[in-house]
Chain A
Amino acid sequence: MNLLKIRNHHFLFHNREDIDIVNKNRPVNLNLATIKFPVTSISSILHRITGVLLFLSIPLCLWALQLSLTPAGFAEVKSVMSGGIVKFISWAILSMLAYHIIAGLRHLMMDAGIGETLEGGRFGAYSVIVLGVVSAALLGVWIW
């Protein structure tokens, strides 16, 4: 009887506390591996991931910048940057920066109302990913 009372309340959306009592043990279906993500969401999550990684790379870049401000330091940074792993890291940072900028430009265009339809959004997301890959390839050619 008591349970029935709580449930009735809940269906009538009367009282938030009643809802919370019932909710406590309810499972939520949110296993991301079971959910299909369209290309627009892939391009969006890549934007977020590259943004976080770029933010984390700021100390490294600032440190290298500061070191390179003297002629001797500049030569040192230059020699460190020619190492294989360091080259790869700088390529990765630049590629992420390129992707992040391109995806950001798409955001600005969408804010201006361009590419907000389903087809437009898909085209924009594909374009951003393709341009990101192309930039990464060009940056690789430039670095190596």
Chain B
Amino acid sequence: MASSATNHRPLSVAGTWFSGESTAGVEVVLRWDGQGSITLDGVPGGRQFDVATMVISAPIGATPRSIHFGGRGKLRSTDFAAVVALERATGRGQGGHWLDRMEASWTLAALFVVLLVVGSAAGFKWGVPWVANEAAMALPASAVEQIGQGTLVLLDETMLKPSKLKPARQSELRQTFAQLKRRYDHLPLKLLFRRGIGPNAFALPDGTVLLTDELAALSTDDRQLIAVLAHEIGHVHHRHGVRMAIEGTAVSIAVAVFLGDVSDLGVVTAGMPAAVVQAQFSQGHETEADTFALETLMHIGVAPHHFLDIMNKLQAKAGTEDKGVQRYFASHPATSERVRRFGKTAPHTHLHPDSM
């Protein structure tokens, strides 16, 4: 290239030459003769290089540019215009100017901000749940079973204790559960009894539904338990457990990408946005499971108010509801909201609630 270079107006760049042997620097002027030769004016003894060996670093903001010739020495210059001219004339730049131009533009920055805000809002509203759902549904049954069993073992070792419900009561509840189960042949549903974590029921991804003694004791009508179990089956049906894991990962990655190491800036609130978004997903799942329970109850002829009743009992037991800001961190929708849904639906059912 050097030899074939067409004649060009000679150019020069002022800068500091660092030999690479030590930190000693020398003020120099780099001169290109317009053809194939570069000389450094100011270096003891003078230095001469072939323009074909020259490498000019990519620009980034207003930081110094580097020019080297394959050896250890390097010219550092803030004579930006001269470096760009040399780069254009010799074609020895490393590129990166398109990036630099993007980074210099306020118009593009504004456009990107809009894109980012709209994109992340849409991504979290539709994108992440969709991907999580597809991925969860694509997961083979064996994997789901593994997950469920693993979780159960872990829970049994840590929080849960064996049930103290009488065998007769257990089999009674199992029969009730079997009624529900019949409707969902495709799900490998199984009912287990445990105690130790207060009135509660939850589903594992593999179809195992756990009911606590405390919840069984709290209920005043088995139809209330059916309503709760239907809700839990809804979680299994929608594979919420797996989706939750995927969504949680997506949220933490997004927050990390977007905010970087916020904690280093002295902002200890870094976890907050993630917790809020995560809770929104969770509330979405609960609403989905509620809908599922509602449909199931209507199909099998159990009045929806039974769900409402047990909710109210749980609420009374738990004390006051989360309010205001706390709502956004809650895993479940507000009970009042859930109750409203079930209450509203009740009059439309063909089965008239016996006590309404």
Do A and B bind?
no
List residues of B whose CB falls within 8 A of some A CB.
none
**Chain A contact residues, CB within 8 Å of chain B:** none
